[in-house]
Copies of this chain bind each other. A is one copy, B any other.
Amino acid sequence: MLPTKNRRIVLKSRPLGIPEAEHFAIETADLPELRAGEFLVRNDFLSVDPAMRGWVNAAANYADPVGIGEVMRSFAAGEVIASRHPGYAEGDRVMGMLGWQEYAVTDGKPVRRKVLETDLPLSLSLGILGINGVTAYFALTEIGQPRPGDTVVVSTAAGAVGSAVGQIAKIAGCRTVGITGTPRKVRACIEDFGYDAAVDYKSPDFELALAEACPQGVDVYYDNTAGRITDAVVRHINKGARIVICGTASVANWEPWPEGPRIERHLLNKAARMQGFLIWDYEHRYEEAVRKLANWVRQGCLQHREEILNGLELAPGSISSLYRGENSGKRLIRVEYI
């Protein structure tokens, strides 16, 4: 017996900065019958990502914004429970842009991949084997280009992307320094994710601690925050340093662009590079990264943490608390079915 109703989260109003619970509504809609070429996915896990801020903001960004009244765009992972599509069969596990909803009727275009790592939990396909891990892998290796002996500094170091970056840099033979926001996360950096050093950016000694953690300067800075954390790190870069811009979590609003220290002269003096990373540019190499990451997970040299919120109704408030640093690992919504 296939479901006929679909609970889903829609965008109610457009936030200027970080979306709060009030910007979303939960509603129940009828599920249409499958047409030829379509299949039905039951979402088991919905993803909560910092990038979702950009997806609901009106400003020009790397994708068109979600429309008012539309289902909130998100990655999700689930199982095909009915199919009239030749490429997908009942029981297939898939992940893709299936949205914050229980069920997705799709022609397959929003599906990013079939999840083939059947020996590993499905939720990993939204985290360490998903956008987070694949982003960490390509942004670090392709833009950061870490070499053995390099000092690699990572902001939001205990987060879903940052924790993977630190560990991949370690696998590459680097000294790793994590920047994070609480003493608990500093401990997680050292104990769970193997950083050589970790510093708390909320500490009054932050700048001194950062300098002491990087006695040889900084060769790669993997930046998930922008803002004053970045300002502090940039002063320590070595000649030829690579700064990977992967996120800007510490800046709540970019309209208008906030002011900060000009770094052109410093980049020139250091012949350094600052480059933005968009995962979409590496779409065609996704499986290459997943294979590497999955093997590291199986070998036990790539740890990850998940924080699973149970129930669709927790989704609307889950982005803003992510920006407040309240999560402990990759945040997911587990959809509960009766």
Contact = CB atoms under 8 A, between A and B. Distances in A.
Interface stretch (A82-90, A194-202, A242-250): A242-250
Contacts of A227: 262
A261 B259 contact: yes
A6 to B, nearest CB: 32
A268 B278 CA distance: 7
Q: Which of A60, A240, A268 has the most CB of B within 10 A?
A: A268
A274 B257 CA distance: 17
Interface residues on A, range: 35 or more
A16 interface: no
Interface string A226-246: 110010000000001000011
Contact of A245 (B247, B261, B267, B276): B267
A258 interface: yes
Contacts of A281: 240, 271
The 10 A-B pairs at the shortest CB distance, nearest first, are namely A268-B276, A267-B276, A257-B261, A273-B275, A226-B264, A271-B278, A260-B262, A254-B265, A259-B259, A245-B268
Copies held by the complex: 2
B61 A269 contact: yes
A226 B262 contact: yes
A51 to B, nearest CB: 10
A223 interface: yes
Given A245-B268, A246-B268, A262 B251 contact: yes
A265 B61 CA distance: 9
